[in-house]
């Protein structure tokens, strides 16, 4: 959770075509841009260097850069997003990653894997199978990172939840913020778990970024819990990303 860099991409006007599980109305580009600026400012306030890519109108969901790649200290890996409209985002991200990394690998397929299903902790890489990520994608990732000494553990994203990290986030080397429904699957044995408050499951997708924890605003009980636990919390507007099932982690690649 200590990072010197982040990559973000501005939302474009095609954001109104972004994918969503349930239609709760079209996101407003203007409000999304304000929230996005707040988010970028919070990342920058920790001293990190933040690359802000211009909007890519061909890919309505490309503001959610996290799904296109996995960034590790040893190298970056372009993912293979498991939904047709997002598949091309990985190839778009590759040249950008090459500006920072000598080594950029790719998931070639036939499997699929979205960055949102990957939680990297200090001891392992957890990857949830989901509607976007399958066993073959996870196997290919496992082979790629084995040489760098990482162990990949396959877990399950709860049914009806978009990504594994929709329901959890890493807060420090041993602590994970998780919904009760995900924790109930038993996948976090050995970690310290803080549960999102009842009815506030939608704030589980937070990020620890250097000294800050960024969390969507509007979840007061969980916010208090995190503040009481000693985290330096920054609450960021997320109403428009939430209409497209996005949260804090989706909006950046961090390394």
Candidates 87-95, 172-180, 225-233, 242-250 — which segment interacts with ligand CIR by CB under 6 A? 242-250
Binding of residue 131 to ligand CIR (CB under 6 A): no
State the Cα torsion 214-9-75-154 to the nearest 10°.
60
To ligand CIR, the closest distance from the beta carbon of 242 in angstroms equals 10
* 18 vs 237 by CB, closer to ligand CIR: 18
Q: How many CA atoms lie within 13 A of 239 on its CB side?
A: 10
Q: Which of residues 136-195 bind ligand CIR (CB under 6 A)?
A: 162-163, 165-166
Instruction: Indicate which single residue of 125, 250, 252, 254 sits in contact with ligand CIR (rule: CB under 6 A).
Output: 250
Q: Which of residues 57-116 bind ligand CIR (CB under 6 A)?
A: 61, 64, 66-67, 86, 116
Burial 153-176 (b: 16+ CB within 10 A, else e): eebebeeebbbbbbbbbbbeeebb
* 137 vs 246 by CB, closer to ligand CIR: 246
Burial of 147 per CB tally in 10 Å (0-12, 13-18, 19+): exposed
Candidates 13-21, 27-35, 40-48, 210-218 — which segment interacts with ligand CIR by CB under 6 A? 13-21
- As beta bridge partners, residue 142 has none
Catalytic (active site) residue 250: yes
Place of tokens 């392992």: 124
Catalytic (active site) residue 35: no
Candidates 90-98, 99-107, 176-184, 240-248 — which segment interacts with ligand CIR by CB under 6 A? 240-248
Binding of residue 18 to ligand CIR (CB under 6 A): yes
| Catalytic position from the list 35, 163, 187, 203 | 163
* 42 vs 161 by CB, closer to ligand CIR: 161
Tell me how crowded residue 216 is: count the other CB atoms within 10 A of its CB.
24
DSSP secondary structure, 75-124, as one string: EEEE-B-SSGGGTTHHHHHHHHHHTT-S-EEE--SSS-B-GGGEEE-SS-
Candidates 5-13, 25-33, 178-186, 239-247 — which segment interacts with ligand CIR by CB under 6 A? 239-247
* 67 vs 200 by CB, closer to ligand CIR: 67
CA distances from 239 to 79, 81, 184, 245 (A): 27, 24, 27, 10
CA distances from 11 to 17, 22, 37, 162, 174 (A): 11, 20, 11, 20, 33
- The residues binding ligand CIR (CB under 6 A) are 18-20, 61, 64, 66-67, 86, 116, 162-163, 165-166, 244-246, 249-250
Residues with catalytic function: 163, 250
């Amino acid at each position: 959770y200590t990072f010197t860099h982040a990559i973000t991409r501005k939302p474009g006007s095609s954001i109104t075509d972004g994918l969503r599980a349930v239609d709760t109305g079209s996101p407003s580009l203007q409000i999304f841009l304000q929230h996005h600026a707040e988010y970028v400012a919070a990342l920058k306030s920790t001293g990190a260097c933040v690359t802000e890519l211009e909007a890519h109108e061909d890919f309505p969901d490309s503001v959610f850069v996290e799904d296109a790649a996995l960034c590790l200290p040893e190298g970056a890996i372009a993912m293979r997003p498991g939904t047709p409209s997002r598949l091309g985002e990985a190839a778009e991200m590759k040249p950008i990653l090459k500006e920072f990394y000598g080594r950029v690998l790719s998931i070639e397929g036939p499997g699929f894997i979205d960055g949102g299903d990957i939680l990297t902790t200090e001891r392992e890489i957890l990857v949830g199978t989901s509607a976007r990520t399958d066993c073959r994608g996870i196997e290919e990732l496992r082979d790629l990172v084995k040489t760098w000494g990482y162990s990949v553990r396959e877990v399950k994203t709860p049914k009806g939840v978009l990504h594994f990290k929709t329901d959890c986030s890493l807060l420090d080397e041993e602590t994970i913020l998780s919904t009760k429904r995900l924790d109930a699957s038993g996948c976090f044995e050995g970690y310290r778990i803080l549960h999102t408050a009842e009815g506030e499951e939608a704030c589980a997708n937070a990020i620890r970024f250097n000294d800050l924890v960024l969390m969507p605003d509007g979840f007061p009980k969980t916010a208090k819990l995190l503040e009481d636990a000693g985290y330096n919390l920054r609450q960021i507007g997320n109403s428009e990303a939430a209409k497209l099932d996005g949260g804090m982690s989706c909006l950046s690649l961090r390394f």
